[in-house]
């Protein structure tokens, strides 16, 4: 082996000892580039003027939309509860929740405008109560302000309930979530939540 | 050797990704003046309306989060800032990564739990378990200056 008077070449880690600022400059440059990409854009399109506000970034939220046909053809049975039809946008599935990490990490590059949520229909015609999970997901377009349900559509800006031809068939409004959960308990035949905001007992009708 | 380099690269990339993630979260808190406003109170109040009132998260927000929102706001604001700086500059890197894991625990207790927290915690773990601050960051220099210190390992 030939002798060398130069000694061993410094290893990369040792070479970096002479330029410690690289440890600071690389992350700073990365942050500066990413910040420039975002440039003050809100994470989701603003929904300030919307009649129905849905949080696109919430993975565990339940949203309850109470829809009434106009003119309302459903008639309450004497002494019975009001007929109602409620769309429940449920929380995302396990894998869909995990996938939202991308929404947070890539929000620096692109704004989240759409979302999909599982949906079920809670229907009470005054005599029977049914819960119908739908196989298709609800599609939220926050930029256009529409919620596309498997059978109908809702204009989130004014709450109009539209059929698949775009004709107005009624009106929808977002329920207070606690009222929504109370309704679910009523449908399941459970007592309302202790200390619930409304505190009103359930209508006393079990399925 | 190549696999080892690749592994180190992945661990460092994850560290920077998480660091940037926390940095943006911290910037958001500073911009919204968490320290000297009731912003966190409003955020927690909104969250209370979003979650099931019978859940543990709702109990925690009602009994701990809302009454003690001010010290919590300081913890969140400064905590996210130190975690971000620690991970980005490789300074007390493992401590910062442990802080990130604890943040996830806090989020879970505070009613902001979902499945993504599992994956996020797995993303933080390489920076806890591996000496990434020694590979690239200020920890290497600090350990030379203060040999034996547990904070820069």
- What is the 3 state secondary structure string of A34-97? HHHHHCCCCCCCCCCCCCCCCCCCCCCCCEEEEEEECCCCCCCCCCCCCCEEEEEECCCCHHHH
Percentage above 70 pLDDT, chain A: 64
Confidence of residue A167 (pLDDT cuts 50, 70, 90): very high
B109 falls within a domain: yes
Residues A86, A67: contact at Cβ < 8 Å?
yes
pLDDT (tens digit per residue) in A110-124:
778 899 999 999 998
- Put simply, the answer to whether B119 touches A92 (Cβ < 8 Å) is no
B94 within domain boundaries: yes
Q: Which residue has the tokens 């109908």?
A: A152
Calculate how close chain B gets to A151, using CA atoms only, in Å: 26
Query: Under an 8 Å CB criterion, which residues of A touch B?
Result: 13, 20, 23-24, 26-28, 30-31, 34, 38, 55, 58-62, 91-92, 94-95, 97-101, 104-105, 108, 176-178, 181, 193-197
Is B150 inside any structural domain? no
Stated pTM of the model: 0.72
**DSSP 3-state assignment of A98?**
helix
The residue ranges of every structural domain in chain A are 63-188
Instruction: List the single residue in B20, B50, B140 with the smallest CB-CB distance to A30.
Output: B20
Q: Does any domain span residue B103?
A: yes
**pLDDT higher than threshold 60 for residue A19:** no
Residue B53 placed within a domain: yes
Q: Is the pLDDT assigned to residue A22 strictly greater than 70?
A: no
Whether B48 is in a domain gets the answer yes
Among A181-185, A200-204, B94-98, the least confident range: A200-204
Q: How far is CA A204 from the centre of its chain?
A: 31
Q: Which of A34, A38, A98 is opposite residue B116, by nearest beta carbon?
A: A98
Do β-strands A138-141 and A129-133 pair in parallel, antiparallel, or remain unpaired?
unpaired
Nearest to A164 by CA among A180, A175, A153: A153
A75-79, A97-101, B29-33, B62-66: least confident range: A75-79
Q: Do B54 and A193 touch (CB under 8 A)?
A: yes
Taking residue A165's Cβ as centre, other Cβ atoms within 10 Å add up to 7
pLDDT at A76: 58
List Cβ neighbours of B65 (8 Å cut-off, separation of 6 or more). Answer: B44, B72, B110, B111
Better pLDDT: B91 or A101: B91
Among chain A residues, CA nearest to B27: A35
**pLDDT at A5 (0 to 100):** 52
- B153 belongs to a structural domain: no
A87 with A119: CB under 8 angstroms? yes
CA distance B48 to A193: 14
pLDDT averaged over chain A? 76
Contact flag A27-B19 (C-beta cutoff 8 Å): yes
Which residues of chain B does A178 touch, with a Cβ-Cβ cutoff of 8 Å? 49, 53
What's the CA gap between A17 and B133, in Å, rounded? 14
What confidence score (pLDDT) does residue A14 get?
A: 55
CA-wise closest residue to B43 among B18, B76, B14: B76
| Number of alpha helices (DSSP H) and beta strands (DSSP E) in chain A | 4, 10
Q: What is the 3-state secondary structure (H, E, C) of chain B?
A: CHHHHHHHHHHHHHHHHHHHHHHHHHHHHHHCCCCCCCHHHHHHHHHHHHCCCCCHHHHHHHHHHCCCHHHHHHHHHHHHHHHHHHHHHCCCHHHHHHHHHHHHHHHHHCCCCCCHHHHHHHHHHHHHHCCHHHHCCCHHHHHHHCCCCCCCC
Instruction: Give me the count of residues in chain A.
Output: 207
Distance CA B41, CA B8 (A): 41
Closest-CA distance of chain A to residue B4, Å: 15
pLDDT value of position A7 = 53
Q: A63: which strand partners?
A: A89
Asked whether residue A204 carries a pLDDT value surpassing 60, the answer given is: no
Q: What is the ipTM of this complex?
A: 0.73
pLDDT band at A15 (very low <50, low <70, confident <90, very high): low
pLDDT for the residue numbered B70: 94
Residue B124 lies in a domain: yes
Q: Domain residues for B59?
A: 2-145
What's the domain count of chain B? 1
Whether A91 has a pLDDT exceeding 70, the answer reads yes
Rounded to an integer, what distance in angstroms lies between the CA atom of residue A117 and that of residue B134? Answer: 44
Cα end-to-end span (Å), chain B:
23
Residue B15: pLDDT band with limits 50, 70, 90: very high
The answer to whether the Cβ–Cβ distance between A105 and B137 falls below 8 Å is no
State whether A61 and B50 contact (CB < 8 Å).
Answer: yes
């Amino acid at each position: 082996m030939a002798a060398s008077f130069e000694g061993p070449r410094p290893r990369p880690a040792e070479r970096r000892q002479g330029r410690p600022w690289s440890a600071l400059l690389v992350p700073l440059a990365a942050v500066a580039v990413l910040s420039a990409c975002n440039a003050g854009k809100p994470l989701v399109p603003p929904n300030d003027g919307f009649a129905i506000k849905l949080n696109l970034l919430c993975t565990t939220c339940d949203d309850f939309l109470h829809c009434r046909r106009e003119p309302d053809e459903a008639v309450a049975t004497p002494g019975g509860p009001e007929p109602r039809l409620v769309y429940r946008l449920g929380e995302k599935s396990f894998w869909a929740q995990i996938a939202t990490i991308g929404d947070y990490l890539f929000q620096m590059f692109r704004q989240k405008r759409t979302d999909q949520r599982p949906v079920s229909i809670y229907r009470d015609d005054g005599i029977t109560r049914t819960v119908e999970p739908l196989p298709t997901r609800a599609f939220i377009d926050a930029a256009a302000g529409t919620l596309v349900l498997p059978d109908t559509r809702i204009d989130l800006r004014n709450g109009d309930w539209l059929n698949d031809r775009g004709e107005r068939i009624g009106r929808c409004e977002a329920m207070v979530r606690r009222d929504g959960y109370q309704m679910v308990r009523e449908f399941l035949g459970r007592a309302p939540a202790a200390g619930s905001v409304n505190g009103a007992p359930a209508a006393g009708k079990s399925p | 050797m190549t696999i080892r380099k690749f592994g180190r690269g992945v661990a460092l990339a994850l560290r920077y990704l998480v660091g940037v993630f926390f940095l943006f979260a911290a910037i958001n808190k500073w911009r919204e003046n968490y320290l000297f406003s009731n912003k966190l109170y409003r955020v927690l109040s909104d969250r209370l309306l979003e979650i099931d009132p019978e859940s543990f998260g709702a109990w925690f927000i009602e009994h701990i989060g809302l009454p003690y929102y001010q010290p919590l706001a300081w913890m969140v604001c400064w905590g996210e800032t130190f975690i971000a700086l620690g991970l980005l500059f490789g300074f007390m890197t493992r401590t910062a990564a442990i802080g990130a894991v604890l943040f996830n625990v806090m989020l879970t207790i505070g009613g902001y739990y979902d499945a993504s927290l599992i994956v996020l915690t797995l993303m933080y773990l390489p920076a806890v378990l591996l000496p990434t601050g020694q590979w690239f960051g200020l920890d290497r220099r600090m350990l030379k200056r203060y040999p034996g210190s547990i904070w820069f390992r």
